[in-house]
Structure 1
Amino acid sequence: MLYFYQQVLNGLHSGALYALLAFGYVLTNGILHRTNLAYGALFAFCGHTMILTAAFGYQALWLTLFASVALGIVAALLYAVLISQVLSRSVFERLADRSPNAIVVTTLGILLFLSEASRIAADTHDLWLPPMLAQPVIFAQDSRFKVTLTVIQLLDCAAVIAVVALAAWLFSHSRFGRAWRAVSDDPKAAAMCGVDVRAVFRRAVLYSGFCAAFAGLLAGFYYGNISFGTGLVYGLKILFVTAVGGYMSPLKAALGAAAFGMAESLWAGYFPIEWRDGWIYLFLVAMLVLIGAGRDQAKVA
């Protein structure tokens, strides 16, 4: 029983990262209705930028570890703003009315560019942050086993819960949230009612970029390293999870992604981990097929 309890706690942490990513992903795709493969790359790029900048500040500028990490955080957030602006103004707005494949191909190119930029900047080396706040907190124990989470895991979970809860509340009660729902439902009708569709879309992409960057920072703090190919893996998982849950509610997408993270953790604890991603993707594809079949039957009825 304690072993199961440990896997549940592990799933809370991984699920928190997925939840934050899914919340941000839906902010853009709920309006765009196009697949954005660059989102996972932005997550990995910002986390990797934080690590590279922290290493530069510590080794070249002789800053303290705290100051180096703070410099890395600032650099990652600035890059998130810059990339989000480029995506919204130069990519999404120009390709929104064209074939969905145009945005898929373009964002795939951006993913490759960001991944290669990270790899070249690091000279194809993995840089690691020193363990931070890695002290275990014991939740339960017996003579043979202890159920623990580290301090950084607890802080990550608390930060994600606070950010998602606050963002969901603001989304439900703010003018931007109402405008986002109107644009997501029918942008032309929203424009006729006086909604600035372009401004809403740009703000949505910016907030989405901040979610990706924040998730990248939390992952970097916990794991100590984010590899160059991480963005593609996380991006595909979030894409499938949000496709199953729909793009109309960022909070529902976040809750579904948290459940996905829990399922991953439980699989890793009880079944061969090398088959984890394969079975998870198979399950998500099956869910998409069933949902699509249900919608077709509803239309016929």
Structure 2
Amino acid sequence: MAYLLQQLANAVPLAALYAALAFGYAIAFGVTKRADITYGAMFAFAGQMLLLFTDFAYNRLWLVLPAALAIGVAMSFLYSLLTGFWIGRSIMQPLVRRSANTVIVAALGVTILLMETARLASETREIWLPPLLNGTVVFWSDAAFKVTLTYIQLLNTGLMMLLIATGTLILRRTSLGRIWRAVTDDPMAAELCGTSASKVFLVAYVAAAFVATVCGILTTFYYGSMDFGAGLLFGLKVLMISAAGGYSDPLKSAGGAAGIGFAETLWTAYGPFLWRDFVVFSLLVFLLVMSRRERAIP
């Protein structure tokens, strides 16, 4: 019983990460209507920029660790949001009205570009942060076993849930959210009503990049590093886990992705680890085929 409770506790931070990533992806998908793996690349790119600038501030500028981390976070947001704006304006927006295959090829090219940029900038070194907030909170215990989570896991989960709640509030209670829904439903009709679909496209894409950046920073704080190849892996995984709840509603997409996070953790705990990704991706493909209402590639 205690082991099951620990695995459920372990699943909460992963479910929160998947939910936040899926929420941001659904915001971008609403205006692109295209499968886009660059979202995962921006997630990984944000973590790599955090590592690069934190390392520079700590080892070159001789700043104390909190100041170095603050500079790393600030520069990660700056580079990642500018990158998201550039991708949205210069690549995705011109291509979404053209061949869907063009968007897929361009997304793959941008992913490789971001991965190689981070790798070359770090001279192919893996940079690691020191353990942060690794003290534990005990939720339940008996004579032989304790159910615990670390402070960084609890902080990350809380911030990601706050991010989803804030985004949901904006989309459902503000004029910006109503305009976004109008553009996602029918951009031509929105244009006829006086809304600039192009501006909404860019705002939505940068908002998705912001969510990916926050998740990339928090994930790097927790794991201590970010692999150069994580962009392609997370790009594909986010594309699939977002489908679990459907692409039409970011909150539903987040809920479905959270369920996948729990399923993945429980399989890791009780099933063969080598088969985990195969089983999870097979489940996602099955859910996508059985429940898809939107055409990701019209």
TM-score, scaled relative to structure 1: 0.95
> In the TM superposition, what are the counterparts of 1:86-165 in structure 2 within 5 Å?
86-165=86-165
Contact in 2 for aligned 1:128/1:225 (Cα 8 Å) = yes
1:265 is displaced (CA, Å) by 0.8
> Could you tell me how far apart the structure 1 residues matched to 2:230 and 2:92 are?
23
Structure 1, unaligned stretches of length 5 or more?
296-301
1:20 aligned residue: 20
Tell whether the 8 Å contact from 1:15 to 1:259 is kept in structure 2 after alignment: yes
1:196 paired residue number? 196
Q: Tell me how far apart the structure 2 counterparts of residues 288 and 28 of structure 1 sit (CA, whole Å).
A: 18
* 1:130 partner SS: coil
> Pairwise mapping of residues 4-83 of structure 1 onto structure 2 (< 5 A)?
4-83=4-83
Give 1:234's aligned amino acid. Answer: F
Taking the aligned partners of 1:247 and 1:196, their CA distance within structure 2 comes to 22
Distance, in Å, in 2 between the alignment partners of 1:290 and 1:255 is: 17
Q: Which runs of 4+ in 1 moved over 4 A?
A: none
Q: Offset at 1:290?
A: 2.0
Q: 2:244 touches 2:257 (CA, 8 Å); kept in 1? A: no
Which residue number corresponds to residue 172 of structure 1? 172
**Counterpart code for 1:287:** L
User: 1: distance between equivalents of 2:230 and 2:106?
Assistant: 19
Superposition deviation, residue 239 in structure 1 = 0.5
| 1:168 shift after superposition | 0.4
TM-score, scaled to structure 2: 0.96
1: CA distance between counterparts of 2:202 and 2:107?
Answer: 17
Asked if 1:187 corresponds to 2:187, the answer is yes
Amino-acid identity (%): 43
Alpha-carbon offset, residue 238 of structure 1: 1.2
Counterpart position of 2:224: 224
2:279 counterpart residue number: 279
Contact 1:181 1:248 in 2 (8 A): no
Instruction: Give 1:41's aligned amino acid.
Output: A
Contact 2:38 2:110 in 1 (8 A): yes
RMSD: 1.3
C-alpha distance in structure 1 between counterparts of 2:170 and 2:37, whole Å: 27
Counterpart position of 1:213: 213
Q: Which residue in 2 is equivalent to 1:299?
A: none
Number of residue equivalences: 294
Q: Which moved more, 1:237-246 or 1:165-174?
A: 237-246
Deviation at 1:55, TM superposition (A): 1.0
| In 1: Cα distance, 2:197 partner to 2:289 partner | 32
1:212 Cα deviation (Å)? 0.3
> Quick one: distance in 1 between partners of 2:16 and 2:248?
20
Residue-by-residue CA offset, 1:124-167 (whole Å, 9 max, x unaligned): 22111000100011111122211110000000011111111111
Instruction: Describe the SS at the equivalent of 1:138.
Output: strand
